[in-house]
A and B are shown apart, each in its own frame.
Chain A
């Protein structure tokens, strides 16, 4: 009989749960426009879209709206598997193509921001917590507190006024001026730095708080009594325990990286996913909204799976309980 590793069982269970969640989201996205009052065609393409009768008829046939619901659902799943998320009459294009073109640009600056923000938050937060009471620890905590309690839009605008308008270091808007690597780097540096400062400041505060709690427990004191150097106590013992709540938060950052980028995209006039979803809400562009919902759901699930694996690696208690 094959013996399955307990961690494997733990992950399989989690995976099954996530698959079930995704199925539920898929079902909700499928059923909502079809069960809502009114014509399903206008619920699927957007209420304020003017379509000729022939287009409405061809859409009705394409969605298979006169077939039983289960057949429609199978057709819908097959379409999704082929990357067909519908057509946006507001944006004049296939939803999948629009989402991919926008998501790519948003990911280009949000993923580095989350990763660097996590790294800075964990490193500085751990040190600030471990050596609390020192002047530099207080300075770091204060700066982090100020940044994380400033409204994101305001901070972005301040960065724009200072670094772009007054110092002229960065451009005002757009992902590039001419499509080349240098221009893209030039345009994305400031939005990325602003986003990093947000993620980093929040992570610093959480990490600092967690380290402050951990360092008062018995195990660091026991380690000290064994003569283990302070640095080793922090990085090999305390940080491992303090990082666990942060992993969940960072995973959530990945889940909300599109909507979280909205304020950056508005201030720096970037046409990314955040502004696409915002515009879709205002314009009631249902195909874009449902497509975005599915993509976000996939991101949240992937991020959660990653967080589970990370927790499994870091926290022996989870390994034991599984």
Chain B
């Protein structure tokens, strides 16, 4: 027995030794490193192929354009651009004094090469390959000719990182190319290392950068596999800020972070929103009166309170949030159960057998198939409860992401819950048209509206760059949503970005939040 006790003591001693080593190691604070926590995980060190790395690499390989804090498009690598009257010829003038981190200057050739490479080698950018007919380089100007007008090209070019031709031209398959770095970049920082095992991406200051500089030599983006750990890491002070594409810092963790006294919150209304989509190819969802009744049955204020913990607003019928350029005021969504019941009744949906569920024209109970991904479980339960109170049966079907994409593409649902991202609100003809236009495809796209009026509106928007006309079209789109309700916005929300109060100079734009060049050239430590 004594021998065993000895063994146990040895084990305990070993554990205590490790613990004391750990204590002595601690995390040394290093003021020259700006630390960003995220839950956007890098899965592979593929500079272009990995979705998340593709978001981060804008810092090292700036796209041609960017958004300012008001959502206006301004130049990033490009100084400015010119468009031909028919919207088919776009000329971008590249800024002077831009250098790759290996010392070579950024040229219009790099831009031409990058855009052509995306068109030929990157599946998601296939539209470039299909529409780009000619590329001309003249000094610091690069001109792209397309086979059809494309109004949103400048917006599209906020997302394509420009690559150094002298490095990437020898890479056979850029989409599949993997390397942990360093990668040559032209931004204020270059990507030094992608370390999947440490769970971080490290950016170092670009030695050839000629612009404004921040106080930080290194930017470290650390990803967490769960929000709870990320929130605790912030509270402990080892991270300076939190960023997740098209998302806020978890609302439930805000109060706890505030209590530390070390963080300020940057609160910005976002153009992303959560909405209820209808399968307009099926009865009774194709009936506007039925959609109207559904819209009256939803308790919007409760959804705002529960889902955004007060960091949101009851939306308007026009769908598009105020954070978006071209927003117009429409009637707010209104919860009125009696109105919902009356609307159903007058549209012929009656509960003849008295079982609490209304019947369709064929006499069968209406039980809607609500298709969701598991992240919408809480909202789905509330929607089910609201609709059942109005006499509409609901069965919630929860699936994982890929099954959801597949089923909504096959229109195998009655109603679904999903969200828009800031980018999604701008894609296609803008103002959320990309989610509804039946001619579109894509992961988050519902493509349920084939009304000629709506489709023509989209085409009109796509064929002009006239700002006055665009404003008018934006109004018409929102009026169309308000009248037809192809989707019901459930809540508008604000994105909260916490940041270390000892650091100043944060800048946020509606597309990528604080992840922009203004932030990374402007942040200063006041400690």
Residues of B within 8 A of A92 (CB): 44, 46, 49-50, 175-178
Establish whether residues A284 and B229, one from each chain, have CB atoms under 8 Å apart when the complex forms: no
B400, A282: Cβ atoms closer than 8 Å? yes
Question: Who on chain B is nearest to A190 by CB?
Answer: B22
The answer to whether A48 and B19 touch across the interface, beta carbons within 8 angstroms, is no
Contact of B198 among A89, A165, A177, A283 (CB under 8 A): A177
Bound CA–CA A123/B19 (angstroms): 23
- Nearest Cβ distance between residue A318 and chain B, in whole angstroms? 28
Quick one: CB contact mask for B103-126 with A, threshold 8 Å, 1 for yes? 000000000000000000001101
Q: Are B232 and A172 in contact (CB under 8 A)?
A: yes
Interface size class of A (residues with CB under 8 A): 35 or more
A63 within 8 A of B: no
B225-A265 in contact (CB<8A): yes
Secondary structure at the B interface, as helix, strand, loop or mixed, is: helix
Contact with B along A176-214 (1 / 0, CB 8 A): 111100100110010001000000000000000000000
Does B27 interact with chain A (Cβ within 8 Å)?
A: yes
B478 to chain A, nearest CB (A): 33
Q: Provide a sorted-by-A list of 17 A–B residue pairs whose CB atoms are within 8 angstroms.
A: A47-B406, A51-B123, A105-B197, A172-B229, A173-B233, A174-B197, A175-B197, A176-B198, A178-B198, A186-B22, A189-B19, A231-B1, A266-B225, A269-B224, A269-B226, A275-B225, A282-B401
Tell whether, in the assembled complex, residue A165 and residue B222 are in contact, meaning their CB atoms are under 8 Å apart. Answer: no
Give CA–CA (A269, B238) in the complex, Å: 15
Residues of B at the A interface (CB closer than 8 Å) are 1, 4, 7-8, 11, 15, 18-19, 21-23, 25-27, 43-44, 46, 49-50, 123-124, 126, 175-178, 196-200, 222-226, 228-229, 232-233, 235-236, 238, 400-402, 405-406
In the bound complex, what is the Cα–Cα distance between A265 and B226 (angstroms)?
Answer: 10
Tell me whether A193 and B15 are in contact in the complex, defined as CB-CB below 8 angstroms, given that A51-B123, A91-B43, A279-B43 are known contacts.
yes
Across the interface, which residues of A come within 8 angstroms of B197, CB to CB?
A: 105, 174-176, 179, 271
Task: Give the segment of A16-24, A64-72, A156-164 that binds chain B.
Answer: A156-164
B27 and A171 contact, CB distance less than 8 A: yes
Q: Say if the beta carbon of A83 comes within 8 Å of chain B.
A: no
Chain A residues whose CB sits within 8 angstroms of the CB of B238 once the complex forms: 172
Q: Complex: how many Å from CA A182 to CA B22?
A: 9
Q: Is A169 an interface residue (CB 8 A)?
A: yes
Distance between A295 CB and nearest chain B CB, rounded to angstroms: 19
A-side contacts of B4, CB under 8 Å: 123, 127
Chain B neighbourhood of A160, CB < 8 A: 228-229, 232
Identify which of A169, A275, A279 contacts B23 (C-beta below 8 A).
Answer: A169
- Decide: A165 and B235 in contact? CB cutoff 8 A: yes
Q: Which residues on A sit within 8 Å (CB–CB) of B18?
A: 185, 189
Measured between beta carbons, the chain A residues less than 8 angstroms from B126 are 50
Residues of chain A within 8 A of B222, CB atoms compared: 173-174
Which residues of chain A are within 8 angstroms of B19 by Cβ–Cβ distance? 169, 189
- CB of A168 within 8 Å of the partner chain: yes
The answer to the question of A90 belonging to the interface, with a C-beta cut-off of 8 Å to chain B, is yes
Question: A residues touching B (Cβ–Cβ < 8 Å)?
Answer: 47-48, 50-52, 89-93, 105, 120, 123, 127, 157, 160-161, 164-165, 168-179, 182, 185-186, 189, 193, 231, 265-271, 275, 279, 281-284
Q: Is the CB of B178 within 8 A of A93?
A: yes
Q: In the complex the two chains form, is B226's CB within 8 Å of A168's CB? A: no
A48 partner residues in chain B, CB cutoff 8 A: 402, 405
Apart from A123-B8, A168-B236, A169-B22: 10 A-B pairs, beta carbons within 8 A: A51-B123, A92-B177, A123-B7, A171-B27, A173-B229, A173-B233, A179-B197, A266-B225, A275-B225, A281-B400
Among B123, B199, B225, the residue within 8 A (CB) of A50 is B123
B403 to A, closest residue via Cβ: A284
Contact present for B26 and A165 (CB under 8 Å): no
Which chain A residues lie closer than 8 Å to B27 at the CB level? 171, 177
B46 surroundings in chain A (CB, below 8 A): 92
Alpha-carbon separation in the docked complex, A270 to B226 (Å): 11
Known: A169-B23, A186-B22. A91 touches B44 (CB 8 A): yes
B443 nearest CB across to chain A (Å): 9
Shortest CB distance A223–B (Å): 17
Cβ-neighbour of A174 out of B1, B49, B50, B200 (below 8 A): B200
Complex: A98 Cα to B401 Cα, angstroms: 23
In the complex formed, the residue of B with least CB distance to A104 is B197
Output the nearest chain B residue to A124 by Cβ-Cβ distance.
B8
Which among A51, A90, A275, A279 has the highest number of chain B CB atoms within 10 Å? Answer: A90
CA distance in complex: A175, B400 (Å): 28
Report Cα–Cα, A127/B21, bound state, in Å.
Answer: 32
Contact B236 A157 (CB under 8 A): no
A50, A123, A189, A267: which contacts B226 (Cβ < 8 A)? A267
Interface contact B233-A172, CB-CB below 8 Å: yes
Q: Is the CB of A173 within 8 A of B21?
A: no
- 9 closest A-B pairs by beta carbon, nearest first, are A50-B123, A92-B46, A174-B199, A175-B197, A269-B225, A174-B198, A165-B232, A92-B44, A92-B49
Q: Contacts of A266 on B, CB cut-off 8 Å? A: 225-226
Q: How far is the CB of A59 from chain B (nearest CB, A)?
A: 13
Bound together, the chains give a CA A182 to CA B25 distance in angstroms of 9
Chain B residues within an 8 Å CB radius of A283: 402
Nearest-CB residue, chain B, relative to A276: B43
Residues from chain A with a CB closer than 8 A to the CB of B200 are 174
Which of A52, A179, A267, A269 interacts with B199 by CB under 8 Å?
A: A269
Q: Is the CB of B22 within 8 A of A170?
A: yes
B176: A residues at CB distance < 8 A: 89, 92
Q: Which residue of B lies closest to A234 (CB)?
A: B1
Residues of chain B within 8 A of A169, CB atoms compared: 19, 22-23
Closest B residue to A52 using CB positions: B123
> Whole-angstrom distance between the alpha carbons of A77 and B456 in the complex?
56
Q: Give every chain B residue within 8 A of A171 (Cβ-Cβ).
A: 27
Distance of A300 from chain B, by nearest CB (Å): 26
How far, in Å, is B121 (CB) from chain A's closest CB? 9
A178 to B44, CA, bound (A): 19
Task: State whether A172 and B198 are in contact (beta carbons under 8 Å apart), knowing that A91-B43, A164-B232, A165-B235 are contacts in the complex.
Answer: no
Which residues in A have their C-beta under 8 angstroms from that of B15? 193
